[in-house]
């Protein structure tokens, strides 16, 4: 395995860093002024998007770009260090058309959309003209087990009728959000059959202005209202034409799985960028703040926090790069457990490192005068969204146990040599 950045990655990293220094950081004050007034800062973002696209810093996350689609085709290993740079200013990913949930939705459409669906939704998404959301979770069922989803997608005349309630749908309040990818139970009347709980669900493309679709509220996350929204949606007898079905009826879960691997690399690397920023802030504060006749950074416990943070960030980055490398070489199915592992490790790491930084800052760490409080809120959410920690741990453990089962009793002989067998 060779994780040294390629010459292309190194060059893009330098260009991206310059873009962040010259254009994104000077826009921060404006962005926050609009955001604090509750207005999505489209006017701040649009010139950044125009510049990023002109400079070839566009759709960097998408390896499967075709020649006629705008963007710079990179594999996941080349993209990962760029996502880390973007992660330091979380809203900046949108300037490069690399933000969730659109990146995952674009990937899904790239794989499964018909030519008409590409023209209507994928192409404007790739140009950054519209945005989208992915609507799976529901208030009435434990959504970490999506086989329980209650939203109904039924045949009705020539099309599909949708009824259900979704919540925490990221991006649904973005002023450019035009389409929701809604996953729901389409029953057993499809080719897949009713018996298999993993083959009953379908994905339909629902325009945000479809009659019957309402955004009921933007749910605050730990008391913070995200401007793009984590929204509750109600779908009441929403009617869409037959050609709004994505892929095959009953293939919803299989398609949704395809979306997850790359998205987890993106999230994880952006989180690592935030951890690096938190560590830098922690060190600067520890050097500058004085208490009990010395610097805060002189206390052994603070040095332990700094050292552990450094080691844990470097370990996590290597794990993410290995997952990206495997994704590039062997595909999403082979990298499924690796993607679960980095999702879990990066989310827990982000909470831990940011929490230490907050402690070093004292009360100021909880205020809006540093980015730490907002980062911590996001880190906490990361431990639930895209699957709670426990679900990923369970998947990883089952994979290990399956490997052990496949090995049979390969190690039993060793144990007998070391331990007396029962009854001896
Ligand atoms: C900020 C944010 C943004 C989100 N964005 C989106 C979005 O854009 N689209 C979308 O569809 N959803 C989104 N979600 C929802 C998210 O995907 C769900 O919250 C998540 O899948 C968990 O579902 P749940 O909340 O129903 O928890 P539940 O399924 O009710 O689980 C509750 C708890 O039960 C335990 N548990 C569950 N399963 C297991 C298991 N197998 N083993 C051990 N313990 C288990 C865990 O501790 C878990 O935390 C978002 C959530 C947040 C917080």
Burial 258-283 (b: 16+ CB within 10 A, else e): bbbbbbbbbbbbbbbbbbbbbbebbb
In the chain, CATH 2.40.110.10 covers 131-248
Ligand 1 neighbour 137 (Cβ under 6 A): yes
Ligand 1 neighbour 43 (Cβ under 6 A): no
Share of the chain above pLDDT 90, in %: 87
Segment 233-252 shows an average pLDDT of 97
Residue nearest to atom 7 of ligand 1 (CA): 169
Q: What is the largest CA-CA distance in the chain?
A: 79
Ligand 1 center to residue 314 CA distance, Å?
Answer: 28
Residue nearest to atom 49 of ligand 1 (CA): 388
Ligand 1 neighbour 384 (Cβ under 6 A): yes
Find the angle CA(157)-CA(256)-CA(201) to the nearest 5 degrees: 35
In the predicted structure, residue 301 carries a pLDDT above the cut 50: yes
In the predicted structure, residue 417 carries a pLDDT above the cut 90: no
In the predicted structure, residue 193 carries a pLDDT above the cut 50: no
Residue 409: the pLDDT is 74
In the predicted structure, residue 218 carries a pLDDT above the cut 80: yes
Segment among 28-42, 128-142, 194-208 with least mean pLDDT: 194-208
Whether 357 contacts 409, CB under 8 Å: no
* Whole-number Å distance between alpha carbons of 415 and 48: 62
Residue nearest to atom 39 of ligand 1 (CA): 391
Under CATH, which number does the domain 131-248 receive? 2.40.110.10
pLDDT digits (tens, 9 = 90+) for 17-68: 999 999 999 999 999 999 999 999 999 999 999 999 999 999 999 998 988 9
Neighbours of 219 (CB within 10 A): 15
Ligand 1 neighbour 142 (Cβ under 6 A): yes
* Whole-number Å distance between alpha carbons of 174 and 93: 14
Ligand 1 center to residue 103 CA distance, Å?
Answer: 20
Label the pairing between strands 131-135 and 152-156.
unpaired
DSSP E strands: which ranges in 171-283?
177-185, 201-207, 213-218, 230-241, 245-246
More confident residue, 257 or 421: 257
Under CATH, which number does the domain 259-407 receive? 1.20.140.10
Class of the CATH-defined domain 7-98: mainly alpha
Which numbered atom of ligand 1 lies nearest the CA of 135?
11
In the chain, CATH 1.10.540.10 covers 7-98
Q: Which of 150, 165, 168 to mutate to test the pocket of ligand 1 (most atoms within 8 A of CB)?
A: 168
Beta bridge partners of 153: 162
* Whole-number Å distance between alpha carbons of 96 and 406: 45
Counting every residue, how long is the chain?
424
Whether 199 contacts 253, CB under 8 Å: yes
Which numbered atom of ligand 1 lies nearest the CA of 171?
8
Residue 260: the pLDDT is 78
Ligand 1 center to residue 384 CA distance, Å?
Answer: 5
Burial 189-210 (b: 16+ CB within 10 A, else e): ebebeeeeeebbbbbbbbebeb
- Our measurement of the distance from residue 166's CA atom to the centroid of its chain's CA atoms, rounded to an integer in Å, reads 18
Residue 423: the pLDDT is 54
In the predicted structure, residue 188 carries a pLDDT above the cut 80: no
Whether 257 contacts 332, CB under 8 Å: yes
Give me the helices (H) in 290-388, please.
300-330, 336-361, 372-382
Segment 188-192 shows an average pLDDT of 52
pLDDT digits (tens, 9 = 90+) for 373-406: 999 999 999 999 999 999 999 999 999 999 999 9
Ligand 1 neighbour 326 (Cβ under 6 A): no
Coil, strand or helix at 169: strand
Which numbered atom of ligand 1 lies nearest the CA of 183?
11
Q: Which of 100, 233, 385 to mutate to test the pocket of ligand 1 (most atoms within 8 A of CB)?
A: 385
Whether 78 contacts 265, CB under 8 Å: no
Segment 315-338 shows an average pLDDT of 95
- Our measurement of the distance from residue 387's CA atom to the centroid of its chain's CA atoms, rounded to an integer in Å, reads 11
- Kindly report the average pLDDT of the chain as a whole number: 94
Q: How far apart are the first and last CA of the chain?
A: 47
Ligand 1 center to residue 320 CA distance, Å?
Answer: 22
Q: Is the bond leading into 251 cis (omega within 30 degrees of zero)?
A: no
């Amino acid at each position: 395995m060779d994780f040294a950045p390629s010459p292309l990655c190194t060059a893009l990293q330098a260009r991206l860093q310059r873009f962040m220094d010259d254009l994104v950081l000077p826009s921060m004050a404006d962005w926050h002024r609009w955001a604090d007034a509750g207005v999505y800062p489209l006017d701040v973002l649009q010139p950044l998007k125009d510049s990023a696209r002109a400079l070839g810093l566009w759709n960097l996350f998408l390896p499967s770009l075709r020649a006629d689609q705008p963007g710079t085709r990179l594999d996941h290993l080349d993209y990962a260090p760029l996502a880390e740079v973007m992660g330091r200013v979380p809203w900046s990913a949108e300037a490069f058309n690399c933000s969730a949930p659109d990146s995952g939705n674009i990937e899904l459409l790239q794989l499964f959309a018909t030519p008409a669906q590409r023209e209507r939704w994928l192409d404007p998404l790739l140009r950054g003209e519209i945005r989208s959301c992915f609507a799976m979770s529901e208030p009435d069922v434990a959504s970490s087990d999506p086989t329980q989803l209650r939203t109904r997608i039924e045949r009705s005349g020539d099309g599909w009728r949708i009824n259900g309630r979704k919540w925490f749908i990221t991006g649904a309040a973005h002023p450019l959000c035009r389409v929701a990818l809604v996953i729901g139970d389409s029953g057993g009347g499809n080719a897949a059959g009713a018996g298999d709980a993993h083959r009953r669900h379908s994905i339909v493309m629902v325009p945000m202005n479809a009659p019957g679709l309402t955004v009921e509220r933007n749910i605050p996350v730990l008391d913070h209202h995200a401007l793009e929204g984590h929204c509750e949606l109600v779908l009441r007898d929403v009617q869409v034409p037959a050609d709004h079905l994505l892929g095959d009826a009953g293939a919803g879960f299989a398609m949704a799985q395809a979306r997850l691997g790359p998205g987890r690399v993106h999230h994880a690397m952006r989180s690592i960028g935030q951890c690096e920023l938190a560590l830098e802030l922690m060190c600067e504060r520890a050097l500058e703040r004085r208490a009990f006749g010395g610097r805060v950074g002189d206390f052994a416990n603070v040095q332990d926090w700094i050292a552990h943070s450094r080691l844990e960030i470097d370990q996590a980055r290597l794990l993410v790069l290995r997952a990206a490398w495997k994704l590039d070489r062997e595909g999403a199915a082979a990298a499924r457990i690796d993607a679960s592992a980095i999702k879990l490790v990066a989310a827990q790491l982000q909470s831990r490192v940011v929490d230490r930084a907050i402690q070093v800052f004292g009360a100021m760490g909880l205020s809006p005068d540093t980015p730490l409080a907002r980062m911590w809120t996001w880190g906490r959410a990361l431990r639930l969204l895209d699957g709670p920690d426990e679900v990923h741990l369970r998947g990883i453990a089952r994979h290990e146990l399956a490997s052990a089962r496949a090995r049979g009793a390969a190690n039993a002989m060793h144990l007998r040599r070391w331990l007396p067998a029962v009854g001896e």
